[in-house]
Structure 1
Amino acid sequence: MIVRTLAECQNSERRVVAENWESVRMILKDDNVGFSFHITTIYQGTETHIHYQNHLESVYCMSGEGEIEVVNGKTYPIKPGTMYLLDQHDEHYLRAAEGSDMVMACVFNPPITGAEVHDEHGVYPLVE
């Protein structure tokens, strides 16, 4: 059994901070459970280009508001209780509204190792 608290993960190398977001990676590849689990905060008033070519991601909004715009597709509002699944490796823009950080629970398959940040194309590398 693995038991961790958000607070202990926030105060460790499991917390990764980028310009538009921070992610607390509570379950990682080396936990050997086939997925990773993160609590990610998208900073208010930001736009992040993301294109997970190597991973599937499911996201559940716990707080805050914003939107997700699929490249060459639709824009969907995000608010607490909204879930989206990037089941087609969907290239997208994730935006948090002004005055409202979005706090999201995220699951990745395959799992990430923990230190990943988006490259210039919005991609996380695939680490075998």
Structure 2
Amino acid sequence: MTDSPGTPAPHGEALAPQRSQLTGAVTTLVAWVAVILPIILMAVTIFAEIMRPDQGMWTARNLSLMFLGALLLFCMIAFPQFLGNAVRFREKAMWRSAIITGIPTVAVMVYFIFRWMANLG
């Protein structure tokens, strides 16, 4: 970044020291490994529900499912990068964005875990 090291922190906050780039990259990679399967499962589930032959594609249910699915997929795709940056730079705004995208991501992961467990029995 182009900020000089002597730049004062906003609102009088002290800047936390950065972690290494390797730490952020490893965190991002681990998060990607955790979310790649739920991303694929979510996309396939949404596609299967929308393309059901017994109903039209442009119903209110399918439109809302498309919108919600796109929003959830965006959160799941953005979460690993936000988490890696939050771990590396230690800024509140970055942690906030990681949490905002992480909550829906964890919810989808928990949904698929419970759905998988229900199919075991």
Query: Which interval holds the TM-score relative to the shorter structure?
Result: under 0.3
Task: State TM-score, norm by structure 1.
Answer: 0.23
Task: State TM-score, norm by structure 2.
Answer: 0.24
Higher-strand-fraction structure? 1
Higher-helix-fraction structure? 2
